[in-house]
Amino acid sequence: MGHTIIEKIIGRNTGKDVKPGDIVTVNVDRVMIHDIFIPFVADKFEEMGFTELWDPDKVVLIYDHLVPASQVDDTRHFRTGNAFVKKYGLKNIHRSDGICHQLMTEAGYVKPGHIAFGTDSHTTTYGCVGAFSSGIGYTEMASVLGTGQMWIKVPETIKITVNGKLPEHVTSKDVILRLIGDLGADGATYQALEFTGTAIEAMSVASRMTIANMAIEAGAKCAVFTPDEKTADYCGITLTDAERSLKGDPDAGYVREICYEASDLVPVMACPSQVDNIRPVRELVGVSIDQVFIGSCTNGRLEDLQCAAAILKGKKVAPFVKLIVTPASRKIYREAMADGTLAALSEAGAIITHPGCGLCCGRAGGILTDGERVVATNNRNFLGRMGTSKVEIYLASPATAAACAAAGKIVEP
């Protein structure tokens, strides 16, 4: 029988012919630790009795949740991280370059076919380049740092096909939100999502990242895309035959197959306070808002900012509404400066912050209070995620978010 993409990646890594349900030990290609968890990883690592990293070159440490620090104890995480870097000879460290998931592929740490783990649930993002990546806790990370290995259960795969052309102002964010709504927040638990179809092929790597990033919101272990020429360009590589063949075989066994016709899709929002509470934007038109947030590892990339800038061009953010824009990385910030995107956003009244997790992780960057409503491009709208439990969070695409900022209420882009 044929294999799904994820079975191929795991099979090549382990040298075994694997099938869903097999428990195997994989050799890890890359790991990512971020600032919130480095003190815990460091503690556990030493508590476990390890004295050296299995391979310092394969470890990446990224400060992003706490940049800039908002509480006096935050910088302790930097000091602990810096000490860990010195003690164990870590070379790959980013102290204010942007969000971990953006940097892992942008800076070339993760390539097609890799197996990568990170101390963050949105580690699923790297599937955008055809890697198997997933989030783990800090204890597990400590053991990977020491051994370079991890046990996993080979996941079943759900195949999602999107064919055709997405209508104007319908983005990959709308695709993944719709899918999460259809699957439910636990609809893909323990499973892999494999994306294919002409609409997926037409997408940029950045758009695929948005989809892979949010796979976890349906409970998925990972999401994968077949590497193509766009992937090769993005990663700065020439694809090998092995990489090219990371596609689902015609006779592969899928646990489920879901098909969408792109032209049927519409702008949608995840309504408070579940990511799978999806409704078309047109059913929500007129709901007043207090703030808009464009950013995060889900939608803080150049194409997202460009899309927002195009919609806001010649307009102003509505009075008494704040638009907070947080580019996903230093590189994106600079590119958006160079092409006039940030100038256009600033002219429209956006508050542009330094790249980092910002508001999405709920520690700073635009926290709200009782009775306030925010339209945001990030990945979670859980109760209390951006302030008190009486804050209402609507998740949307950058196009919808920008249109809402100008209108001061929910509108279709």
Closer residue to other proteins in complex, CB, 107/185 = 185
CA 202 to chain centre: 19
**Residue 55 near other proteins by CB under 8 A:** no
Q: Which is nearer to other proteins, 179 or 364 (CB)?
A: 364
70: contact with other proteins by CB under 8 A: yes
- Give the closest residue to 173 by CA, choosing from 289, 294, 272: 294
Choose one: 48-56, 203-211, 301-309, 395-403; the region binding other proteins (CB under 8 A). Answer: 48-56
Q: How far is CA 158 from the centre of its chain?
A: 19
Q: Using the minimum distance from each CB to other proteins, give the nearer residue, 202 or 255.
A: 255
Considering only residues 374-413, where is the footprint of other proteins by CB under 8 A?
Answer: 380, 382-385, 387-389
Is residue 89 near other proteins by the rule CB under 8 A? no
- 95's CB contacts (< 8 A; 6+ apart) are 63, 67, 78
334 binds other proteins per the rule CB under 8 A: yes
Report the sign of the C-alpha dihedral through residues 217, 223, 229, 235, in that order. Answer: positive
The window from 133-141, 159-167, 175-183, 243-251 that contacts other proteins (CB under 8 A) reads 133-141
151 binds other proteins (CB under 8 A): yes
Nearest-angstrom CA–CA distance, 37 and 197: 37
Which is nearer to other proteins, 2 or 371 (by Cβ)? 371
- The secondary structure of 127-170 as a DSSP string is GGGT-EEEE--HHHHHHHHHHSEEEEEPPPEEEEEEES-PPTT-
- Encoded one letter per residue, x for contact with other proteins by CB under 8 A and - for no contact, window 220-249 reads -x----------------------------
Of 156-164, 251-259, 333-341, 405-413, the segment contacting other proteins by CB under 8 A is 333-341
- Residue 253 or 349: which CB sits closer to other proteins? 349
CB 379 within 8 A of CB 217: yes
Tokens representing residue 158 in the block: 């759900």
In the bound state with other proteins, the residue whose beta carbon lies nearer, of 258 and 351, is 351
Nearer to other proteins, 186 or 233 (CB): 186
* Segment contacting other proteins by CB under 8 A, of 40-48, 226-234, 251-259, 307-315: 40-48
CA–CA separation, 170 vs 41, rounded Å? 40
> Residues with Cβ < 8 Å from 9, sequence gap 6 or more?
113, 115, 130, 131, 132, 224, 246
- CA gap 329, 16 in Å, rounded: 38
Instruction: Please work out the total of residues on this chain that contact other proteins, with binding judged by CB under 8 A.
Output: 91
Beta strands in 206-314 (DSSP E): 222-225, 256-261, 268-270, 278-280, 291-295
Under the binding rule (CB under 8 A), the answer on residue 371 touching other proteins is: yes
Among 71-79, 201-209, 395-403, 404-412, the segment contacting other proteins (CB under 8 A): 71-79
Query: Between the CA of residue 201 and those of 195, 245, 305, what are the distances in Å?
Result: 9, 15, 22
Q: Are 18 and 1 in contact (CB under 8 A)?
A: no
- CB nearer other proteins, residue 119 or residue 231: 119
Which of the residues 187 through 226 are near other proteins (CB under 8 A)?
189-190, 216, 219, 221
Q: How far is the CB of 69 from other proteins (least distance, A)?
A: 5
